[in-house]
Structure formats: structure tokens, C-alpha cells
Homo-oligomer: A and B are copies of this chain.
Amino acid sequence: MTQMTNAAPAVDRYLEIAERQFAETGFHGVSLAAIAKEAGVSKQALLHFFGTKEKLYGAVLKRLSDKLCAEVERAGAGGPAAGLVAYFEGLAKNSLERQAEARLVVRALLDTEETARFWPMKPYLEALTELARKTPKWQTASLDEIRAELFQLIGAIQYLTISQTALTGMYGEEDRQAIEERFAGSISGAIRVFVEA
């Protein structure tokens, strides 16, 4: 039969490197050669596993989407309302560490060319919507209503997250940190308003 294919860890390492680079400079800003160089392999190694650059990008986004979905599901295990609060609070508090993720999500929403007819972030957004729908507050609400409210919340959080580098550049590291702290404090209120009736 088929052979022992034990390339999974290597492939995952390639995806990790690609993810970081795509998050930083976007699809067009990254070359296969650059990713290959950082991974210490030839670019044909990447093409061997992923076929084309677009498919590699797709695999990166799919992997991220799966990861985010799993996270949402894990958060929702202890009840929808508490889960949502915990999830969003976590997002807001670790904005520096989660920059790469947020950048990729935003880029996926932004780049309608490469990701069209694929919409990799749809499952993630729907997982959040479904979780919200399970709370008492949103049980009777329409999907549009939930989505509109949800976008307000994750939009605010991810916008700040992707702005971290720019904020440091514009105002310095101290001010960036002060803004982040103020933001985390005030978004907490918004999160509770979103979840609780």
C-alpha cells in the first residue's frame, strides 16, 4: 500500500513560517524563495507539498481558520455566555502576541482576489455567531443582528491588534502600552454588553 508519509511535522513547520511571512507582508509581498530560505529548503520543496503559491496561501488560511474555530469551540465548552466573554477578553488582552493571526484574518477579508470563492474565515465567524446564538440574549435575534453586533466587537479588537506596530511607530512604546491597557479596560464593558442582557 502507500508508504509511511512522515512529512507532517515538516509541512507544519513550512506552514508556520509561511503564516508569519504572509501575515507580515501579504500574499503578494512574500515569495516562495523567501519562505524556502527561512525554512532552509529549496522552494521546490514547497511546491512539492502545496502545488502552487496560492494553494500554500490557502493552506495557511485554512490552518488558521481551523485553529481559531477550535479555540472558539474550546471556549464555548463551559457555557456560551461565559465562553464568549473569556474568548474576547483573551483576544483583547493578548493583542501583541496575536498580531500575526489578526493580520492574516484582516488580510483574508481584505484580499478578495486570492481568497474569493474560498472565504477561509467564514467558519470562524460562523462559530462565533453560533456561540452567540446560544446565549439567552441572542436566542430570539436574527442572524443579521448577531453578525452586525459581532463585527462591531471583533472589528474593534482586531483593528487595534493590527495597529500595534503602527501605534508604537507613531507614539512610542510607552504610549502604545497605555492605549492598549485603556482599550482592554473599556472593551471589557462592550464585551459584557454584547453577551449579557
Contact = CB atoms under 8 A, between A and B. Distances in A.
Interface string A137-161: 0000011110111011111111110
B110 A183 contact: no
A169 B152 CA distance: 19
Interface size class of A (residues with CB under 8 A): 35 or more
A69 to B, nearest CB: 15
A144 B175 contact: yes
A119 interface: yes
A96 to B, nearest CB: 14
Nearest to A161: B155
A186 B190 CA distance: 12
Contacts of A108: 166
Given A122-B170, A178-B144, A152 B26 contact: no
A40 interface: no
A15 B157 CA distance: 32
B112 A165 contact: yes
A196 B111 CA distance: 36
B152 A190 contact: yes
